[in-house]
């Protein structure tokens, strides 16, 4: 199925000590693939609020955004041109509670073990691995790079 459109997405690596949270997605276009909590930005939504909303919806956790590894561009498996904003966060509240229809599992994994995951287990493995390399090399920028929605 060819969609041919632009999609803007937020993705959040939630760090706790030396671990990061992964979720296993089970969505119409993605079955049993590991990913960071992520999703599309809704029309007229602030990008930072979208990151908070997606994490809360998918994991039940409340977060504080602390940085970004940047913006990633790629063609998705559904033939959309995707612009993905990747954030770093820490947990500030809530409890891990999965969105049962779309998220089937979650696990905390050591950051240095992310690169050991098999590509066939990952959603959009190419961009996932780019984000992982930035995490491992601590190529993290200030959250202040993202300007407030006006």
Domains of the chain: 6-145 (3.90.79.10)
Whole-angstrom Cα distance, residue 15 to residue 61?
A: 12
Task: Report the pLDDT averaged over residues 107-120.
Answer: 95
Whole-angstrom Cα distance, residue 96 to residue 3?
A: 33
Per-residue confidence (pLDDT) for residue 31, from 0 to 100:
86
Percent of the chain residues topping a pLDDT of 90: 82
CB-CB neighbours of 113 under 10 Å = 12
Question: H-helix or E-strand containing 105?
Answer: strand 103-110
Under DSSP, the state recorded for 149 is P
Residue 149 has pLDDT above 80, yes or no: no
As a whole number, the mean pLDDT across the chain is 92
Per-residue confidence (pLDDT) for residue 1, from 0 to 100:
45
Residue 81 has pLDDT above 80, yes or no: yes
Per-residue confidence (pLDDT) for residue 78, from 0 to 100:
85
Task: Report the pLDDT averaged over residues 117-137.
Answer: 94
Phi-psi region of 124 (alpha: psi -120 to 50; beta: other; left: phi over 0): left
Higher pLDDT, 101 or 141: 141
Per-residue confidence (pLDDT) for residue 105, from 0 to 100:
95
Phi and psi angles of residue 117, each rounded to the nearest 5 degrees, phi first: -70, 145
Task: Using pLDDT thresholds of 50, 70 and 90, give the confidence band for residue 3.
Answer: low
Residue 14 has pLDDT above 70, yes or no: yes
Per-residue confidence (pLDDT) for residue 114, from 0 to 100:
94
Say which residue the tokens 């999965």 belong to. Answer: 98
Task: Using pLDDT thresholds of 50, 70 and 90, give the confidence band for residue 4.
Answer: confident
């Amino acid at each position: 199925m060819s969609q041919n459109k632009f999609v803007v997405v937020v993705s959040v690596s939630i760090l706790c000590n030396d671990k990061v949270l992964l979720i296993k997605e089970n969505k119409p276009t993605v079955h049993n693939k590991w990913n960071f909590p992520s999703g599309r930005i809704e029309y007229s939504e602030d990008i930072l609020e979208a990151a908070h909303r997606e994490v809360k919806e998918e994991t039940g956790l409340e977060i504080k955004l602390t940085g970004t590894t940047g913006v990633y561009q790629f063609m998705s498996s559904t033939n959309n041109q995707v612009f993905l904003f990747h954030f770093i966060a820490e947990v500030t509240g809530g409890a891990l509670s999965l969105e049962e229809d779309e998220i089937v599992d979650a696990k905390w994994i050591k950051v240095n073990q992310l690169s050991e995951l098999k590509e066939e287990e990952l959603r959009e493995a190419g961009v996932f691995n780019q984000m992982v390399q930035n995490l491992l090399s601590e190529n993290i920028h200030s959250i202040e790079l993202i300007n407030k929605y006006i």
